[in-house]
Amino acid sequence: MNRDVEISEVGPRDGLQMLKGIMPTSAKKAWIAALAAAGLPEIEVCSFVPPKLLPQMADAAEVVAYARTLPTLHVAALAPNAKGTARAIEAGAHKITLPLSVSHSHSLANVRKTPNEMVEEIRESAKLRDASPSKPGIEAGLSTAFGCTIEGTVAESEVVRLAVAAIAAGADEVGLADTTGMANPQKIKQVIANVRREIGDRLTGVHLHNTFGLGLANALAAYEAGLRTFDASQAGLGGCPYAPGATGNVVTEDLVYMFESMGVRTGIDLEKLMEGRRILAEAFPNEPLYGYVPAIGLPKNYRPAA
């Protein structure tokens, strides 16, 4: 399928990890299937963390195995360390993201390791990848790349340093994560330019949160800066338990609408995407689901990009 941008759905991982309830495995499978049927090329379906820490992800291996049966889908997963990477490889994930927080305080709270120690986890994960027959992609997700709710300002020089270190450690690509939603369009363009100056096209995408309502503006800024891969979460679910005050991700439905209205092809059918949302609503009837497009509906003059 011809696409101008790739939207990676992170709701089954980032979204579900923040909900108090546990989505039944059968409902997860139905939701992931609906998202894939809508045309989403990549879905981050789970994280490989100890079930005692995140019981919502206790079925991670089963979910990956199911997602692998969907022929058009690139199956992504998150792993907080090399041990999680080993489990993700065994399960069959196509891509594994390791969180590398730029903020020292956030890194210790989130993964109980310093940023430099996480670089070593990436190095060990890359060795596991190289030794595996499947050779999944390894992404370093640079969390708190635009600000931290614990430390405040994050030095851009540290963002660049860790991006370079992650690639040197064996990561295939780097993504910039606005974990706290503290970015703005000017900052997005500035950080992207600085990181690309050092690692070029190995900087592939952004993971944006909507804490201050700038998620779509920041996505557009990243697009104008040359990036073409964007994480988003259906209904805007998500957040980080170790970033106090941070809210959910950019809403997938609204992001698709923005790009398609601009004539930028996502390859995603918005009406089919809404069907996936219904599965989510049935599983969590008391959870608020966000998004302007789902609430208002498509305007009469909406035409998807040709």
Question: Residue 171's closest CA among 208, 205, 207, 127?
Answer: 127
Map tokens 């996505």 to a residue.
219
Distances (CA, A) of 271 to 39, 49, 295, 297: 11, 33, 13, 10
Selecting among 30, 40, 126, 240, the annotated active-site residue is 240
Would you say 84 and 90 are in contact if contact means Cβ atoms under 8 Å apart? no
Would you say 259 and 303 are in contact if contact means Cβ atoms under 8 Å apart? no
Query: CB within 8 A of 36, min separation 6: which ones?
Result: 43, 67, 70, 72, 73
Question: Residue 238's closest CA among 2, 8, 15?
Answer: 15
Determine whether 240 is an active site residue.
yes
What single string gives the DSSP state of each residue in 214-256? -HHHHHHHHHHTT--EEEEBGGG----TTSTT---BPBHHHHH
Which residues carry out catalysis?
Answer: 240
